[in-house]
Amino acid sequence: MGSPSGPPFDPDDPDWARREHDTEPIPRIDPDDGPGYGTGARLSDGPAFSDDAGYGPGPAYAGEDRSGRAWVRDPEAGYQPPQISEEELAGLRADASGMTPRRVLPLEDEPSSLVARYLFPTERYRGEWKRHWIHLATPIIVGIAATFVLGYLSGFLAGQNVGALTTVAVLLWFAVMGWVAWRVADWWYDRFILTNKRVMVVNGIITRRVAMMPLVRVTDMKYEQSPAGRALNYGTFVLESAGQEQALREVKNLPNPNELYLRVVEEMYEPQAVEARLGKEQDEAKADDGA
């Protein structure tokens, strides 16, 4: 069937079939007959894409993405972060009986007065840690050994009627105990701090030292545990930033290294999960206080 205004049919013309196909009108198909390419005129002889394919109230592909979350695009608000389900948060909380241990342990809601002075108002506090008690192993051993040795020496010298040497031994013992007390006080004021923007180490009694590293600049983080560290639950953290030597690079004798590692990694890669969990815990705490 050719066009009424076209040339007459010629069976010997090799281009007649092509011209006939090009001049044939495209049929208009009703949208209810099947899928098409958008609204209006559609082709019904093959699969197509509808206007809402790809993004919508559910996942963009069949099922969900690899993490199990549905990504949503709001045409008015632009990009939105992934929605965190209750199932994902359930693994971070203990059950009602308290028998199931949390992967991320609860911490104080507010920083101590020692730490608060180093945080700016828009920074969100995540926790602070003193070093493991193994950090005091050397001064404690020295103090115990000095007590036994100098105590025995003082008694021996007192029996020999050598009062001056006895006094020297006692003064030496007081000096050793003063050094031990200084080391314990220095341990008490030594804190590792985590916020939503950075990690910090604050130490020193007379001379205060504050070292910090922004989380966005941490390129590599690891922790190491010796056999003794695994038995007593402490480790050494190593932070790398673009291959450069930093003021805060190696932090020794931190307690619960696996717990602390999870906290830092979660703050770096899943800040939405942290906010959702903390918000849920605050709501539960308010509900308990109201009850």
Assigned domain for 32 exists: no
**Are 113 and 214 contained in the same domain?**
yes
**Which DSSP symbol is given to 128?**
E
> pLDDT at position 44, please?
43
Assigned domain for 44 exists: no
Final residue of a structural domain among 189, 209, 228: 189
**Are 168 and 211 contained in the same domain?**
no
**Are 222 and 274 contained in the same domain?**
yes
**Are 217 and 262 contained in the same domain?**
yes
* Residues of the domain holding 153: 133-189
> pLDDT at position 62, please?
43
Helix (H, G, I), strand (E, B) or coil at 172: helix
pLDDT averaged over 10-residue windows placed end to end, the chain, 291 residues: 53 62 56 47 46 46 45 51 62 49 56 90 90 94 94 82 81 94 95 92 92 88 92 92 73 92 87 71 64 56
Final residue of a structural domain among 149, 165, 189: 189
> pLDDT at position 177, please?
95
**Are 215 and 286 contained in the same domain?**
yes
> pLDDT at position 87, please?
63
**Are 281 and 227 contained in the same domain?**
yes
**Which DSSP symbol is given to 75?**
T
CATH of the domain at 123: 2.30.29
**Are 147 and 215 contained in the same domain?**
no
pTM for the model: 0.58
Helix (H, G, I), strand (E, B) or coil at 94: coil
DSSP string, 130-147: EPPGGGGHHHHHHHHHHH
Assigned domain for 58 exists: no
> pLDDT at position 21, please?
58
> pLDDT at position 9, please?
58
Assigned domain for 27 exists: no
**Are 197 and 183 contained in the same domain?**
no
Q: Would you give the distance in Å from CA 5 to the centre of its chain? A: 74
**Are 195 and 276 contained in the same domain?**
yes
**Burial of 260: CB neighbours in 10 Å, binned 0-12, 13-18, 19+:** buried
Do 91 and 103 meet the contact criterion of CB atoms below 8 Å apart?
A: yes
**Are 222 and 119 contained in the same domain?**
yes
> pLDDT at position 6, please?
53
State the total domains in the chain: 2
> pLDDT at position 234, please?
95
Assigned domain for 73 exists: no
Do 248 and 237 meet the contact criterion of CB atoms below 8 Å apart?
A: no
**Are 118 and 243 contained in the same domain?**
yes
Give the contacts of 183 (CB within 8 A, at least 6 positions apart): 136, 138, 139
Assigned domain for 41 exists: no
Final residue of a structural domain among 189, 217, 236: 189
**Are 151 and 123 contained in the same domain?**
no
Assigned domain for 7 exists: no
Assigned domain for 276 exists: yes
> pLDDT at position 166, please?
83
